[in-house]
């Protein structure tokens, strides 16, 4: 009798738990139910969309993309033929325009953001004040407002008549519509120049690496630029002579209404690029500031103690360590910049969003067009993400 309770206890411990009370089964079951619910939810949404469109005699089709675009794109194209350019090709032109803005925007915003971020920590009162003022103004007003402000501002301050354009050396002409500048094109022999320049670049990089090794071995200053620059200049000059002037220059000429020939940057392009750089740089500046401040102060003191100058401390000690902290949030800002480029439609810039909405309007295929557009922006954002993750990985702290 006295053994009875303990033996029951042992038996119940080892008895199999029925599946409906086993936490593992319950969890698996719930996962499956949840998956079914999500799939059913998604299916219902799509089914409703398709059947509602069918009720309204509309079917989703991608055939509309094969039709001619039908109207002009005055940005990033030459000899555009609206009758033969399909909607796909028009989208591609729009995407290239978006890339032109985003690429320049990323570079510009990084440079400006780092400068302002450092400025915010400057010991100079005036520099600090300007940096703070800049950040607060640009971070706390909507980008759309800033774009309109810049666009209208550029428009009313530049010369109204094309004939009265500001002439800069080059010749470069600035008016309300665009900045016109000479078009530089490679001639038939330009490949010789590119070839020799490329060889020069390879040799220059080789010398650069060699000098760094010498520095590691002997402790002599590397002075890489003193070797690198003359090398590529030499090869470039030889290439220029061999190719016999590899470039032709076509100057813009004033015609009845506009400058023709030459190349140009439209006011819309300039506004959007400038607006994105100014806006995003305010965020980047604060990220840079935070990254620098996160570097332990002892590092700076140690650098000073070893005789590093202020600039050297920043360049060789602080920034490399700050970079590791800056990269992840910086990637977010790069993504914001890429996505915000779609605001160009407000000022009539022919980016991929603008082109897509024209196609959507002219064909009525809004669902198909917006699906393609989302895929394009997703692709762009994921590419930036992948690159930034790779950079982040290579910068990670290696513990030994």
The residues that touch other proteins, with contacts defined as CB under 8 A, are: 30, 33-34, 37-38, 40-41, 44-45, 48, 52-53, 55-58, 70-74, 81-83, 152, 155-156, 160-161, 176-177, 255-258, 260, 267-268, 345-346, 348, 350, 354, 357-358, 360-364, 366
**Residues 143, 225 contacting (CB under 8 angstroms):** no
> Residue 41 or residue 210: which is nearer to other proteins going by CB?
41
> Residue 26 or residue 168: which is nearer to other proteins going by CB?
26
> Residue 95 or residue 350: which is nearer to other proteins going by CB?
350
Q: Shortest approach of other proteins to residue 369 CB, angstroms?
A: 11
Q: Shortest approach of other proteins to residue 37 CB, angstroms?
A: 4
Closest CA to 177 of 193, 190, 189, 166: 166
26 CB neighbour count, 10 Å cutoff: 12
Q: Shortest approach of other proteins to residue 36 CB, angstroms?
A: 10
Kindly state the tokens that stand for 124.
Answer: 């100079």
Closest CA to 107 of 392, 339, 337: 337
**Max CA distance (Å), the chain:** 115
> Residue 63 or residue 226: which is nearer to other proteins going by CB?
63
d(CA 189, CA 187): 5
Q: Shortest approach of other proteins to residue 144 CB, angstroms?
A: 13
d(CA 116, CA 104): 18
**Residues 204, 276 contacting (CB under 8 angstroms):** no
> Residue 331 or residue 348: which is nearer to other proteins going by CB?
348
Q: Shortest approach of other proteins to residue 249 CB, angstroms?
A: 21
3-class DSSP assignment, residue 173: strand
User: Which residues are bridge partners to 180 per DSSP?
Assistant: 173, 264
Q: Shortest approach of other proteins to residue 80 CB, angstroms?
A: 10
**Residues 350, 73 contacting (CB under 8 angstroms):** yes
d(CA 397, CA 387): 18
> Residue 73 or residue 276: which is nearer to other proteins going by CB?
73
């Amino acid at each position: 009798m006295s053994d009875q309770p303990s033996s029951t206890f042992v038996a119940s411990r080892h008895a199999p738990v029925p599946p409906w009370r086993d936490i593992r089964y319950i969890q698996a079951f719930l996962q499956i139910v949840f998956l079914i619910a999500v799939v059913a939810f998604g299916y219902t949404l799509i089914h409703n969309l398709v059947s509602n469109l069918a009720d309204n005699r509309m079917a989703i089709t991608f055939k509309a993309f094969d039709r001619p675009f039908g109207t002009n794109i005055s940005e990033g194209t030459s000899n555009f033929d609206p009758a033969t350019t399909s909607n796909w090709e028009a989208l591609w032109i729009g995407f290239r325009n978006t890339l032109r803005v985003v690429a320049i925007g990323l570079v510009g915003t990084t440079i400006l953001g780092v400068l302002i971020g450092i400025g915010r920590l400057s010991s100079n009162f005036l520099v600090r004040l300007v940096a703070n003022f800049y950040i607060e103004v640009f971070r706390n007003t909507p980008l759309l407002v800033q774009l309109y402000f810049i666009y209208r501002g550029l428009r009313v301050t530049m010369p109204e008549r094309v004939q009265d354009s500001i002439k800069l050396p080059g010749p470069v002409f600035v008016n309300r519509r665009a900045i016109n500048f000479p078009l530089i094109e490679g001639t038939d022999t330009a490949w010789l120049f590119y070839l020799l320049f490329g060889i020069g670049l390879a040799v220059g990089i080789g010398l650069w690496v060699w000098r760094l090794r010498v520095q590691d071995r002997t402790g002599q200053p590397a002075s890489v630029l003193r070797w690198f620059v003359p090398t590529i200049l030499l090869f470039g000059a030889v290439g220029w002579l061999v190719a016999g002037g590899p470039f032709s220059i076509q100057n813009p000429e004033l015609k009845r209404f506009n400058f023709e020939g030459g190349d140009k940057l439209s006011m819309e392009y300039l506004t959007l690029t400038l607006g994105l750089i100014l806006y995003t740089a305010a965020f980047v500046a604060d990220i840079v500031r935070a990254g620098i401040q996160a570097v332990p102060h002892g590092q700076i003191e140690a650098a000073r103690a070893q005789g590093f100058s202020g600039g050297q401390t920043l360049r060789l000690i602080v920034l490399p360590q700050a970079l590791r902290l800056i990269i992840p949030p910086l990637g977010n800002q790069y993504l914001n910049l890429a996505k915000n480029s779609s605001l160009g439609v407000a000022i009539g810039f022919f980016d991929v969003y603008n082109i897509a909405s024209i196609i959507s309007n002219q064909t009525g295929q809004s669902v198909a067009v917006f699906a393609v557009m989302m895929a394009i922006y997703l692709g762009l954002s994921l590419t930036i993400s992948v690159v930034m993750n790779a950079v982040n990985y290579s910068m990670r702290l290696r513990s030994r």
